[in-house]
Chain A
């Protein structure tokens, strides 16, 4: 079967996107039946005490990664259990009891680190569904043969199956308390009364129907380092090493068809804590040149506290590298040029500016529907734009420049002064808002001009000291 793999049709770009998930077929030797698998389930009811589902999933994933040392197929069964195939590892670990000891040694340190009880339930049987059921019910059982499953499971309550509330009530009303009671009834009648889903669960437990198991795959993580024979001073001497590490990273990304959004470069010193350089990309990168440009730019602004004896590059947040959309009428030059404009096109430039000037140096403007002038615009870091700006129906003209804070106007003999005596051109426009927030805005706005030709947006407080302020400059 494996020999015929090359005859399968390949779609897409084989060198970049094809990934062989599992090419190995189960080996069958003529005259010898393969031994049935043994599924080892671990139930951790203490995890149910964690209120946040995401935290719980992360913890389960960490435990699953530990179990990866015992078996090639580990499955995460939310919310509180793990299942792994144990038959293939039995001989290596020297039997099921030794495997159990290993299992405890792997999981207990993590559990005690999280401050959770270190005990857990475990069960092993020829089907993953039965093992899970036994472990979740707290029966620490080992069932070797499929024929014995029925009697082992018979003692469990029907409520341990995953059922809807209505179905549970229905079973309870029928007087069916244990699985043993259910098995006494004819199968077709059960199907009619409780639905095929219920029957299917029972069949999966007994191994009449195969249970699909989704093997846990640990998320990719890139970590590569280079050590120098002698300490290096000056950031430009590090560039060849960084180039080499980035080349490795790009090979890693290409092999998995991923692109990265976040990099961390650590420069190791002999007697000090390493210097960390975290780089957030504005757009996912897969090729070396732009990543190198960003890192070089960041390095050029850095003064190293000590000579560097090694560099390490890490990346753990990835995105699948999707090819950009191409217009159907790609041959039309005008259309192609229009498609390339917009925020996506400028992202590399903004990334470069941020790498050198700092993340806070670049911001875009956002318009907000608010009557209070200083709250109607907000600088947004980076280009985090949420859709279209709100279209405000502005009757009155607004100034193009708004001062960071209103500046109080001087007065001389009743004449307002700002680089010369002011003359009112139009107004007033009354803005009265935010009385609910305690910072009430109650102002009369005017347009004024001074002898130097500046046109100013000034306001008069309607309450309190009734001072005059300049708030904006028109153009």
Chain B
């Protein structure tokens, strides 16, 4: 490393603001490191710049169909939130959440609220819940969402410092959400593909084992 310090041309190049250096990746990682909430899966935590779920941000979980195990990704998070005594609001889940199962996983159903609404009103409700700091987690199954709507929800999440997780079947190529995950079921369990994580260029795939029934 001593050579480039002597070369003034290299030095001026290094001071160009548009230049991104691979060694900065580690610095970004450590800056983000304690801002996240662990996902409960060490392999997945290692792929994410926040070492877990981000705070005050929007996450998209894209699945080919409901019920392939995507809820298992958020169960440890729900458990942690329930232990803290914080609230989570579920918007338009595809089925009714079953309270005895949640209780058995260590999630107190008393801190969980389910909102059902017509599609036209749903996004309004999700935005209000994300903006409210009283709500620690918003899970939403909004159906089809556009770029603009995701951007708006992302802004609401950062305003309320709330984690919002949208589940959808993924028609959009890209979005402004802080984290996008694609979940697929495999014979052994789940394959989680990190499509986008803000602050990281890595696109990685993690295999998670599903809990035996």
- Kindly supply a per-residue 1/0 record for chain B positions 153-179, scoring 1 wherever the CB is within 8 Å of any chain A CB and 0 otherwise: 000000000000000000000000000
Find B99's partner among A345, A377, A474 (CB 8 Å cutoff): A377
Give the distance in Å from the alpha carbon of A379 to the alpha carbon of B93 in the complex: 13
Give the distance in Å from the alpha carbon of A453 to the alpha carbon of B69 in the complex: 8
Is there an interface contact between A454 and B104, defined as CB atoms closer than 8 Å? no
Find A352's partner among B97, B113, B128 (CB 8 Å cutoff): B128
Given A425-B213, A475-B69; A401-B97 close (CB under 8 Å)? yes
User: What is the chain B residue whose CB lies nearest that of A354?
Assistant: B115
* Chain A interface extent, by class: 35 or more
- By a CB distance below 8 angstroms, the chain B residues around A138 are none
Given A452-B65, A475-B75; A343-B111 close (CB under 8 Å)? yes
Is there an interface contact between A398 and B104, defined as CB atoms closer than 8 Å? yes
Whether B205 sits at the interface, judged by CB under 8 Å, is: no
Find A367's partner among B99, B115, B129, B134 (CB 8 Å cutoff): B99
Whether B42 sits at the interface, judged by CB under 8 Å, is: no
- By a CB distance below 8 angstroms, the chain A residues around B113 are 346, 350, 362-364, 383
Is there an interface contact between B98 and A402, defined as CB atoms closer than 8 Å? yes
Is there an interface contact between B85 and A473, defined as CB atoms closer than 8 Å? no
Is there an interface contact between B125 and A357, defined as CB atoms closer than 8 Å? yes
User: What is the chain B residue whose CB lies nearest that of A378?
Assistant: B99
Is there an interface contact between B116 and A349, defined as CB atoms closer than 8 Å? no
Whether A59 sits at the interface, judged by CB under 8 Å, is: no
Is there an interface contact between B132 and A389, defined as CB atoms closer than 8 Å? no
Q: Is the interface of B mostly helix, strand, loop or mixed?
A: mixed
- By a CB distance below 8 angstroms, the chain A residues around B102 are 365, 400
- By a CB distance below 8 angstroms, the chain B residues around A340 are 134
Is there an interface contact between A454 and B68, defined as CB atoms closer than 8 Å? yes
Within 8 A of B (CB), among A444-461: 447, 452-456
Q: Is the interface of A mostly helix, strand, loop or mixed?
A: mixed
Find B116's partner among A361, A377, A419 (CB 8 Å cutoff): A361
User: What is the chain B residue whose CB lies nearest that of A383?
Assistant: B113
Give the distance in Å from the alpha carbon of A342 to the alpha carbon of B88 in the complex: 10
Give the distance in Å from the alpha carbon of A356 to the alpha carbon of B124 in the complex: 10
Whether A1 sits at the interface, judged by CB under 8 Å, is: no
- By a CB distance below 8 angstroms, the chain B residues around A341 are 84-87, 134, 136
Whether A376 sits at the interface, judged by CB under 8 Å, is: yes
- By a CB distance below 8 angstroms, the chain B residues around A292 are none
- By a CB distance below 8 angstroms, the chain A residues around B184 are 453
Is there an interface contact between A379 and B114, defined as CB atoms closer than 8 Å? yes
Within 8 A of B (CB), among A62-78: none
Give the distance in Å from the alpha carbon of A361 to the alpha carbon of B115 in the complex: 5
Whether A26 sits at the interface, judged by CB under 8 Å, is: no
Give the distance in Å from the alpha carbon of A348 to the alpha carbon of B105 in the complex: 28
- By a CB distance below 8 angstroms, the chain B residues around A377 are 96, 98-100, 109
Given A392-B103, A453-B185; A365-B125 close (CB under 8 Å)? no
Whether A140 sits at the interface, judged by CB under 8 Å, is: no
Given A349-B132, A365-B112, A367-B103; A401-B185 close (CB under 8 Å)? no
Is there an interface contact between B112 and A364, defined as CB atoms closer than 8 Å? yes
Is there an interface contact between B85 and A426, defined as CB atoms closer than 8 Å? no
Give the distance in Å from the alpha carbon of A230 to the alpha carbon of B190 in the complex: 65
Whether A413 sits at the interface, judged by CB under 8 Å, is: no
What is the minimal beta-carbon distance from B131 to any residue of chain A, in angstroms? 9
Whether A385 sits at the interface, judged by CB under 8 Å, is: yes
Is there an interface contact between B96 and A475, defined as CB atoms closer than 8 Å? no
Give the distance in Å from the alpha carbon of A389 to the alpha carbon of B106 in the complex: 12
The 8 closest A-B pairs by CB, nearest first: A453-B185, A473-B67, A398-B101, A377-B99, A401-B95, A365-B109, A402-B98, A475-B71
19 A-B residue contacts at CB 8 Å?
A: A341-B85, A341-B87, A342-B85, A342-B111, A346-B87, A349-B129, A349-B134, A353-B125, A361-B117, A364-B109, A364-B112, A365-B102, A365-B114, A389-B103, A397-B104, A400-B71, A401-B96, A401-B98, A475-B69
- With A366-B110, A398-B101 given, name 11 new contacts (CB 8 A): A350-B113, A364-B109, A366-B109, A367-B109, A377-B99, A389-B103, A394-B100, A401-B94, A401-B97, A472-B98, A475-B69
Interface residues of B (CB under 8 A from A): 64-72, 75, 84-87, 89, 93-105, 108-117, 121, 124-125, 128-129, 132, 134-136, 184-186, 210, 213
